[in-house]
Amino acid sequence: MPATPDAAAAGDLTAAEQHVLEALDETELIATLVELVRTPSVTGTDAEADLQHTVARWFEEAGLEVDLWALDLDDLRADPDFPGTEAPRLEGHGLVGTASGEGDPGLVLQGHVDVVPVGDVANWHEGDPFSARIDGGVLHGRGACDMKAGMAVNLAVARALHRSGVRTERRLALHSVVSEEDGGLGAFATLRRGHRGEVAVITEPTSGRLVTANAGALTFRIEVTGRAAHGSTRREGVSAFEVFWPLHQALVALEERRNADRHALFGDNPLPYGISIGTIRAGDWASSVPDLLVAEGRMGVRLGEDPALARLALDEAIADAAAADAWLRHHEPRVTWPGGQFASGQLEQDHPLIDEVAGAVEVVTGIRPAEAAAPYGSDLRLYTGIGGIPTLHYGPGDVRLAHAPRESVPVAEVIEVARALALVAARRLGAH
């Protein structure tokens, strides 16, 4: 069913803007979201690639000119600015849909089609993580908020503009990318191909706020050697697990120091630059003292911080802890930096895009959204960085539900965000 602007908001809208909002089909929007969530597009899988072809067809039906291309993975990996990846990948596809016309698009709406693995299926109350079950006005499933809802919103905006019959002075572009969850390969490839825009909105879940900055994130690996022995005579050996403990304590202390002075945009978040251990592997036999431990984790990058300096801080913390330990002093731990590498990113605090989006949200919801920063890495840093595109996040859902078996998104919030961004598009693109 088509959406109708609130009577209170109608006085703030031009005739063209009203036409765009009236053309936004809420039923179609949610049906698209359901189909997206039911596609198990885990990053690096065939389903991720297949979904890009489905979305390309939707772009064409929305009147967009489509650029769908196979990523040259070897060429991208050889680029010195390559952001890194973590998931095995044999193929990937870039996808951009652009309204006809000349010049850089006046607005880019960006989203990623990939989702993280589901974990233990038994933890999902509905049984099937990709069921897209709607219960009590809430849609449940892997990718519901991160970020299939944002993808559905972007498409709904393009469809509304196309169906409304309005003319625009500037063009809309939609960027659909892969591999956001493991480093940003898709965004990197899209920007490297030359796709740009005057400004961009990434529809990641923001809980009603405008996210204008995000911390970065680096993946690290620490290898610690011990000395093997029979478990019954463990004192003849040196457990790699036990000698890792002072290194873990050093990471805890480093995290505390790096979060002592936080940017005001993080509000009351006490840990925007977290350091955590995600996996630990040690030993190969229950009755043997392990002679090797491999720990992998994630390190937050401060706003405006060179990732090289963040890596140096962790390297030095590990080196100092090793120098103070009798065993590690002569058996130095090895620190490497594999996988995804997210720099921080930030939109200029006085950029007009902030007021443009905030104003549209206020018209639709009656509430002016607060500005905030996110403690996680995203494609924002690539769009503001190598892309040189002023960019912010605004999208449906709560990131605290992402990557969890309770992932969900309120249907009403999806519709609300779609209407707000349709209004942003109409105004920014000069609809008449």
Which residues are identified as catalytic?
A: 114, 180
DSSP letters for 120-165 = -GGG-TTS-TT--EEETTEEESTTIIIIIHHHHHHHHHHHHHHHH-
Concatenated DSSP letters of 293-356: EEEEEEEEE-TT--HHHHHHHHHHHHHHHHHTSTTTTTS--EEE--S-EEPPEE--TT-HHHHH
How many Cβ atoms are within 10 Å of 296's Cβ, its own excluded? Answer: 18
Give the tokens for residue 367: 């509430």
Q: How far apart are the first and last CA of the chain?
A: 23
The CB density around residue 419, as the number of other CB atoms within 10 Å, is 29
Alpha-carbon span 378 to 421, nearest angstrom:
20
Judging by beta carbons within 10 Å of its beta carbon (0-12, 13-18, 19+), is residue 318 exposed, middle or buried?
buried
Q: φ and ψ at 278, to 5 degrees?
A: -95, -35
Strands 93-98 and 172-177: antiparallel
Residue 409 and residue 401: Cα distance in Å, rounded?
Answer: 9
In terms of C-beta density within 10 A (0-12 exposed, 13-18 middle, 19 or more buried), how is residue 277 classed?
Answer: middle
3-state secondary structure of 187: helix
* Residue-level length of the chain: 432
DSSP-assigned letter for residue 399: G
